[in-house]
């Protein structure tokens, strides 16, 4: 019976992203999809900046940028007055990411671009028409039974990733429950060919949230059509195409606007997460682990981050660079993020759009106007909404009212802490080529020494899976033997952004998050710290008196 390191069940965007992660690390994998082809419908269609960064690591970003529709401004609009209450701007993220914008691309197009790279792979394979019948865990692997066009087939895999959607067969076989809420109202998602780009009066951006207590609407501009999301009351019948067209005409205030229906469907509004994300050698990802409303693409983008978080940990375990306890950090880190995205971001979006109380709506509009004018609050909103602000801090602090007032008055970007995603700043390498900091974590950990190269720092012994570089405001002279490992930070811009103390070491994980910040006096302990991070089961802060803070 054939045995492979990783079997991925489900050939949707999350399953394909997981496959591309293993492709990135050159670990053999196979994807099993029960349908005869990939998605042919647009489905999810909004890709956030953090996901674009991940797609760059996975080697598919150029096709996505070529086929997608890019924009850096989101509007929140009052339907009655047709006034913009707030503009959420993504371009302040230019100091954080190479992709300070949102991109709209239908899921069917996204899957085709991802699958194209997998079809060219020499170590991975996408298998269609493979319906999972059963899965059994034995001591050091899993046994999977499939129904295929040629009969029943068996496969062994050391680890299994369940990316098989909201009705996950694997989750049901494992008896894992989903907790959270399902709202009585539903969403109608309708795609139309319609010319709204030349609308008279206020121009529409490519993602607009139109607030109304009875019938809010979300406009999404896809590369070749417009998408509309509209609420359907619990007891209401499914609307016909003509009724939906009339609704759209009322919203855009054009009773004769020509509209051609492409597709439409109705979705339940779930905000649920699995009570358990790991069962032995089996892991839940994407919709199998969390059900999040399609508003803003949070479900898709959260799933892409799931794959980015888990894959490198499995690779390190498969290579014997880490113990299996490392894998327990997957659920510990990702489950709170999914709950936050479902219950805070998605729920808040829904509640704010459909607010019924006139007093609350007035207060909402005042707050949004305040945020629209405050640079600090704008940055914070974009940082969180782009998912660049995703953090695995042990105890994240919620900003209080005083803190928000202070931020609105005078804003300073917060320093990078353990658990945060490390910003993708611009540096010059030894050849004078412009590079991005994230280029140096594509293959593994990065130990980034923030130190003046003129002091001739010692970078110590090599470590498996770790690259070592200096981040310095001064270029390395050729007689220092540090030229190849020095990254020139022009004007110290990146050093200031992260709030680094001179001499500190940032240990950055393959998924761009900071695993540890080590002081200069503890630099010699880097090997011990690295191996301890990879073997510990408990994520904790360092013991009292030790200048290291570490997280998994």
CATH code for position 29: 3.50.50.60
Same-domain check for residues 439 and 325: no
Q: Please, which residues have CB within 8 angstroms of residue 242's CB and are 6 or more apart in sequence?
A: none
Same-domain check for residues 311 and 168: yes
Strand pairing report for 282-284 and 278-279: antiparallel
Among candidate residues 345, 365, 387, the one where a domain is terminated? 345
pLDDT by residue, tens only, the chain of 552 residues: 789 999 999 999 999 999 999 999 999 999 999 999 998 777 888 999 999 999 999 999 999 999 999 999 999 998 888 889 999 999 999 999 999 999 999 999 999 999 999 999 999 999 999 999 999 999 899 999 999 999 999 999 999 999 999 999 999 999 999 998 888 888 888 999 999 887 777 788 999 999 988 788 899 999 999 999 888 888 888 888 899 999 888 888 888 999 999 988 888 888 899 999 999 999 999 999 999 877 778 899 999 999 999 999 999 999 999 999 999 999 999 999 999 888 776 667 777 888 888 888 889 888 889 888 888 888 988 999 999 999 998 755 555 555 555 555 567 789 999 999 999 999 999 999 999 999 999 989 999 999 999 989 889 888 999 999 999 999 999 998 899 999 999 999 999 999 999 999 999 999 999 999 999 999 999 999 999 888 754 334 333 333 333 333
| CATH number, residue 441 | 3.40.30.10
Alpha-carbon Rg for the chain in angstroms: 24
The two structure tokens encoding residue 56 = 């760059």
Count of structural domains within the chain? 2
Same-domain check for residues 30 and 136: yes
Same-domain check for residues 465 and 329: no
Same-domain check for residues 340 and 446: no
Q: How far is it, in rounded angstroms, from Cα 338 to Cα 357? A: 29
Strand pairing report for 124-127 and 260-274: unpaired
Q: Does residue 13 belong to any structural domain of this protein?
A: yes
Q: How far is it, in rounded angstroms, from Cα 196 to Cα 259? A: 10
| Full domain range(s) for residue 433 | 426-550
| 484 Rama sector, left if φ>0, alpha if ψ -120 to 50, beta otherwise | alpha
Among candidate residues 281, 315, 345, the one where a domain is terminated? 345
Indicate the pTM of the whole model: 0.93
Same-domain check for residues 447 and 540: yes
Q: Does residue 294 belong to any structural domain of this protein?
A: yes
Q: Does residue 80 belong to any structural domain of this protein?
A: no
Among candidate residues 345, 366, 382, the one where a domain is terminated? 345
Q: How far is it, in rounded angstroms, from Cα 54 to Cα 308? A: 7
Q: Does residue 327 belong to any structural domain of this protein?
A: yes
Same-domain check for residues 340 and 449: no
Q: Does residue 222 belong to any structural domain of this protein?
A: no
The two structure tokens encoding residue 298 = 């949070």
Compute the Cα dihedral for 519, 523, 525, 531 and give only its sign: positive
Same-domain check for residues 430 and 286: no
Sheet holding 46-47, edge to edge: 46-47, 102-104, 69-71
Beta partners for residue 149, in sequence order:
none
Same-domain check for residues 126 and 7: yes
Same-domain check for residues 478 and 337: no
Q: Does residue 206 belong to any structural domain of this protein?
A: no
Same-domain check for residues 430 and 300: no
Same-domain check for residues 451 and 330: no
Q: Does residue 336 belong to any structural domain of this protein?
A: yes
Q: Does residue 263 belong to any structural domain of this protein?
A: no
């Amino acid at each position: 019976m054939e045995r492979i390191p990783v079997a991925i069940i489900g050939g949707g965007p999350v399953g394909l992203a997981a496959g591309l992660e293993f492709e990135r690390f050159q670990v053999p994998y196979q994807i099993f999809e029960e349908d005869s082809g990939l998605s042919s419908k647009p489905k999810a269609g909004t890709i956030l900046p953090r996901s674009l960064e991940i797609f760059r690591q996975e080697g598919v970003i150029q096709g996505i940028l070529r086929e997608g529709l890019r924009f850096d401004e989101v509007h929140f609009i009052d339907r009655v007055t047709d006034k913009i209450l707030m503009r959420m701007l993504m371009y302040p993220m230019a100091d954080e990411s190479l992709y300070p914008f949102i991109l709209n691309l239908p899921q069917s197009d996204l899957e085709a671009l991802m699958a194209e790279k997998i079809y060219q792979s020499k170590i991975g394979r996408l298998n269609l028409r493979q319906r999972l019948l059963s899965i059994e865990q034995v001591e050091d692997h899993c046994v999977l039974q499939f129904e295929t066009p040629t009969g029943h087939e068996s496969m062994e895999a050391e680890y299994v990733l369940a990316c098989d959607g909201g009705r996950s067969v694997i989750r049901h076989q494992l008896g894992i429950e989903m907790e959270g809420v399902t709202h009585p109202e539903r969403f109608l998602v309708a795609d139309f060919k319609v010319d709204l780009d030349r609308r008279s009066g206020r121009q529409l951006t490519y993602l607009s949230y139109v607030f109304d207590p009875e019938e809010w609407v979300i406009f999404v501009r896809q590369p070749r059509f417009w998408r509309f999301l509209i609420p359907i009351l619990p007891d209401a019948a499914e609307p016909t195409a003509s009724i939906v067209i009339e609704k759209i005409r009322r919203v855009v205030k054009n009773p004769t606007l020509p509209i051609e229906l492409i597709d439409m469907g109705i979705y339940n509004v779930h905000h649920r997460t699995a009570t358990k994300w790991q069962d032995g050698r089996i892991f839940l990802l994407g919709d199998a682990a969390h059900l999040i409303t399609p508003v803003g693409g949070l479900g898709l983008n959260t799933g892409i981050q799931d794959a980015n978080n888990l894959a490198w940990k499995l690779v390190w375990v498969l290579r014997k660079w880490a113990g299996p306890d490392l894998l327990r950090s997957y659920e510990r880190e990702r489950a709170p993020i999914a709950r936050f995205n479902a219950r805070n971001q998605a729920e808040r979006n829904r509640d704010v759009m459909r607010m019924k109380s006139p007093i609350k709506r007035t207060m909402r509009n005042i707050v949004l106007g305040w945020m629209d004018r405050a640079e600090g609050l704008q940055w914070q909103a974009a940082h969180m909404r782009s998912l660049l602000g995703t953090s695995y801090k042990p105890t994240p602090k919620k900003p209080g009212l005083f803190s928000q007032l202070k931020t609105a008055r005078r804003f300073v970007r917060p320093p990078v802490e353990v658990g945060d995603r490390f910003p993708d700043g611009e540096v010059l390498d030894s050849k004078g080529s412009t590079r991005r900091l994230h280029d140096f974590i594509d293959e593994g950990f990065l130990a980034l020494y923030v130190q003046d190269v003129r002091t001739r720092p010692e970078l110590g012994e090599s470590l498996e899976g770790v690259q070592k570089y200096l981040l310095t405001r001064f270029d390395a002279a050729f007689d220092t033997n540090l030229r190849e490992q020095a990254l020139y930070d022009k004007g110290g811009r990146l050093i200031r952004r992260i709030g680094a103390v001179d001499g500190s070491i940032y240990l950055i994980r393959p998924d761009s998050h900071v695993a540890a910040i080590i002081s200069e006096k503890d630099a010699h302990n880097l090997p011990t710290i690295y191996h301890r991070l990879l073997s510990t089961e408990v994520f904790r802060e360092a013991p009292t008196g030790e200048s290291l803070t570490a997280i998994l």
